[in-house]
Chains A and B, each alone.
Chain A
């Protein structure tokens, strides 16, 4: 027997590969399109559309004479999804009912209608109706390669449309007022985006099911948002998160018997989100915690230095004395840092077993810190004075930026210049004293 370099068991069947590719592209596209749903706050409109798809699946099944033809069922699903969105628009335009209640009404009633239809179909024992319930929670096991190809192609089309109209949809997502003022058809673009979301919801049905497919549209963009502030990065990132979630959900569900795909896809997406919420740079919980720690430590260091400077003027001081004068959060660890610094750049020097003096560098640091504190105090005082007159001055106080010393120098040189050119004609009424720099800035 010849050694087979690729044992058959290691190559997944062609069908599985195609289905995996289809599901992957569905996840990718749902993430990309979902970014706009999240940015435009249309997440729950998508949910209402998703719940309405069930009715369309049932109708298309009856219309097709009991064939379980995926493209047909999905076309039905899309039509009722869009009808649900239309219902939302109509309720908003014609009644007093507010958005949140309108969403709940469309969602609940259309889902009820779908359940009624599907139950009616299965109660009548129409052949081929057994699999329809799979659209409820998603089930990819029954997908053929042809079905998956259709899903994949539709997803890629959706991504293509987003890429084509990236500028327009970004503009509308972030500043609809500006977009409208610049002459863009905002309402049209808005509706197009919502329809695109409906398409993604429908395409995602086999993978995630009507009840949970909205998660495929919402969670990956939210996850991507944790990592970036740029739409250009957020879109592909959301796509990748969606892809990973969809693939891992499908993989796990194929390994566990009788397990619907949808919940697993959602849980996979949520795990990614949880991880991102924890470790994402700048926004993540870990980054925030570290930042908070650094801030507290820096504050404690500075405060300790300030107290040390005061104590140092009376000779050596002990740890007890220092901590008694500067109590508070993190004072103890700040003292340890102070002592540890002695090895590198001496901030304090040892003058006994528990007696310390500020070193030259330490004294300079402390002086610099009190100077800064004084400067900020001055700025805040100035701000308070502005507030007293109920004025909002958009010109910052020059002292705050240049520092009091430079300001004083500038003032002196200006006065000297004025003294030199006093005889200059044409400005006899000009006040001789630059008394109110803040008020003068406005003129």
Chain B
């Protein structure tokens, strides 16, 4: 329910601003993780910062304070170290190692939270899915404005991340796309990777209060992966990822407000929808683009096959069979509509249709003739490849094949190869 009270609107504004800031930082870091195939480490770190935060709070740190950030970064690095340790010493694959390390650390965190609930001001639920709705109630005054503490922390982290990305831009991109070459060029790849992990920990802990441990994974991975589908250049991808993250946070919060449910969860859902849309409409190899190009090819092949079969019917004595499949009938209708085939039940080729059909049959027979001359294939094996390639040969290739076949008239089955330039009725010449 939407309340017109201006205090309420301010509350929502702050919550949205926090979510958007957090999301922007996560999308920024997440883009690097996604292109470096380190998303799972982001997953692991986001789970594992919990015990670090709890211990830091126990040691007297305030939620959102520097001590808590330090604790979380240390916990994040410990996870990565543990994963590597399990990999080298216990011979575990990376996924199993990460699975062991982060579940254990997360479990320790949850047990600490549950056991010390009285001393630690952390809600076990908040650990998992955040309390974005309550963020505006914990504020610090800045320039006379009551700014949420979580927003302040998230904004600080975002600024640090952006500065870090700009300063180390060249090194980060080089390492992300070609670590071996970067190492050979003398870059400290290990330090850069560690820096990326620290950045992930920072982004995670800044998001922790707002969206909780697990939904951070969605904020890290989803906008970046969606942006990767949409664009090719990495700079553009970063901008798009941040844009998608911010848009998803705003829309998600509004949707959660409208349907009265958890905001962080809804943000993840909206991000998921963004990803699905990106996968569908991505230019070039999006699902829609792929389906369209595949279907349009099938469609063209069906039309051309129909034309060619009518041409062969005119050439010989037998009448062409009526199309049986749905696609064949649709192709027939389309050819009639565009004036390639005459109307009526016994509609034959029109002049334009005959022209197009001739080229296809020419491609087909040229290919058969060429195969017959250069490849030792039995006669009855020439047709299938020609049937496939007839739809793909251009005028230039046809010309080169014809030049190669100079002096050899007809295809291997003894039929005439229609000429390239001059339209002539196949029926005018005897087929044999």
Query: Which residues of A are at the interface with B, using a C-beta cutoff of 8 A?
Result: 38, 41-44, 47, 51, 91, 94-98, 100-105, 107-120, 123-124, 133, 136-137, 211-212, 214-215, 218-219, 222, 225-226, 256, 258-260, 262-264, 266-267, 270, 273, 277, 283, 285
Contact = CB atoms under 8 A, between A and B. Distances in A.
How many interface residues does chain B have, given as a range?
Answer: 35 or more
B217 A96 contact: no
A211 B279 CA distance: 27
A222 B268 contact: no
B98 to A, nearest CB: 7
A43 to B, nearest CB: 4
Contacts of B115: 256, 259
B134 to A, nearest CB: 13
Interface stretch (B163-171, B254-262, B310-318): B254-262
B323 interface: no
Interface string B321-356: 000000000000000000000000000000000000
The dominant DSSP class at the B interface is helix
B95 A41 contact: yes
Given A105-B218, A112-B265, 11 more contacts: A97-B225, A97-B229, A101-B34, A101-B221, A109-B268, A115-B128, A116-B256, A258-B117, A259-B111, A264-B107, A266-B106
B266 A108 contact: no
B89 to A, nearest CB: 7
Interface in B234-267: 256, 259-262, 264-267
A312 B268 CA distance: 79
A88 to B, nearest CB: 13
Contacts of A133: 125
Interface of B: 34, 37-40, 42-43, 86, 89-93, 95-96, 98-100, 103-104, 106-111, 114-115, 117, 124-125, 128-129, 214-222, 224-225, 228-229, 256, 259-262, 264-269, 271-272, 275, 279, 282, 285, 287, 290
Contacts of A212: 103, 106-107, 110
A112 B264 contact: yes
A43 B96 contact: yes
A95 B287 contact: yes
Contact of B265 (A116, A214, A215, A219): A116
A108 B218 contact: yes
A96 B285 contact: yes
Contacts of A219: 99-100, 103-104
Given A112-B265, A123-B261, A267-B111, A136 B128 contact: yes
A219 B34 CA distance: 26
A101 to B, nearest CB: 4
Nearest to A99: B37
A100 B37 contact: yes
B99 A43 contact: yes
